[in-house]
Structure 1
Amino acid sequence: MNRLHVSDRFRLIDLALLLFISFALTMTLSMIDPDLPSNQPTSPVSCEFFNTSGQLPQELQVVNWNIAKEPLAKVREALHNTSVNLLVLQESAVDEGFLFSPGHRALETTGVALESRVSPSKVCHWQSFEPIMLTPKAAIAASFPIAGSEDELLVINLHGVNFSWLLGTWKRQIRTAALLAKSHKGPIILAGDLNTWRYERSRFIKQVAEELGLAQPAYVEDNRTAPFGYPLDWILSRGINWTEVSAPNAELSDHNPILATGIIVTTAAED
Structure 2
Amino acid sequence: MRKKTFAMRYTAGQPAEQVFPPELQFPFVHRLPEGALLPDYKNLKVLVWNIFKQQRAEWQSVITDFGKDSHLVMLQEAQTTPELVTFATCHFIAVDQVPALSFPQHPSGVMTLAKSAPIFCCPLREREPLLRLAKSALITVYPMPNGQMLMAVNMHAVNFSLGIEVYRKQLATVGEHMQHHCGPILMAGDFNAWSLPRSKALYHFVHKHHLKEVHFDHDHRRTAFGRPLDFIFYRGMFIENARVLKTEASDHNPLLAEFSFT
Instruction: Provide TM-score, normalisation by structure 1.
Output: 0.76
Offset of residue 58 of structure 1: 4.0
The correspondence for 1:208, drawn from 205, 221, 233, is: 205
Offset of residue 76 of structure 1: 4.3
Contact 1:54–1:119 (CA<8 Å) still a contact in 2?
no
Largest Rg, 1 or 2: 1
Offset of residue 239 of structure 1: 1.3
1:121 correspondence with 2:107? no
SS at match of 1:102: coil
1:47 aligned residue: 22
Contact 1:220–1:244 (CA<8 Å) still a contact in 2?
no
Matches within 5 A, 1:215-230: 215-230=212-227
1:14 aligned residue: none
Aligned-pair identity in percent equals: 27
Matches within 5 A, 1:44-193: 46-47=21-22, 51=33, 53-56=36-39, 57-70=41-54, 74-82=58-66, 83-94=69-80, 95=85, 97=89, 98-107=95-104, 108-149=106-147, 151-193=148-190
- Greater displacement, 67-76 / 167-176: 67-76
Q: Deviations over 1:71-98 (max 9, x none)?
A: 7995441144433111000000223732
Offset of residue 231 of structure 1: 0.7
Aligned residues: 226
Contact 1:68–1:254 (CA<8 Å) still a contact in 2?
yes
1:71–1:123 CA distance, 2 compared to 1 (3 A): farther
Aligned-residue RMSD, C-alpha: 2.5
| Unmatched tracts of structure 2, length 5 or more | 7-19, 24-29, 90-94
Contact 2:55–2:250 (CA<8 Å) still a contact in 1?
no
Contact 1:221–1:245 (CA<8 Å) still a contact in 2?
no
SS at match of 2:212: coil
Offset of residue 43 of structure 1: 6.5
1:240 correspondence with 2:237? yes
Looking at structure 2, the residues matched to 73 and 123 of structure 1 have their Cα atoms a distance apart, in angstroms, of: 31
SS at match of 2:99: strand
Q: Which amino acid aligns with 1:46?
A: P
Which is richer in helix? 1
Looking at structure 1, the residues matched to 65 and 213 of structure 2 have their Cα atoms a distance apart, in angstroms, of: 25
Q: Which amino acid aligns with 1:144?
A: Y
Instruction: Provide TM-score, normalisation by structure 2.
Output: 0.79
Looking at structure 1, the residues matched to 172 and 56 of structure 2 have their Cα atoms a distance apart, in angstroms, of: 30
Looking at structure 1, the residues matched to 208 and 253 of structure 2 have their Cα atoms a distance apart, in angstroms, of: 28
SS at match of 2:231: strand
- Greater displacement, 96-105 / 252-261: 96-105
Looking at structure 1, the residues matched to 42 and 60 of structure 2 have their Cα atoms a distance apart, in angstroms, of: 23
Offset of residue 202 of structure 1: 1.1
| Unmatched tracts of structure 1, length 5 or more | 1-37, 266-271
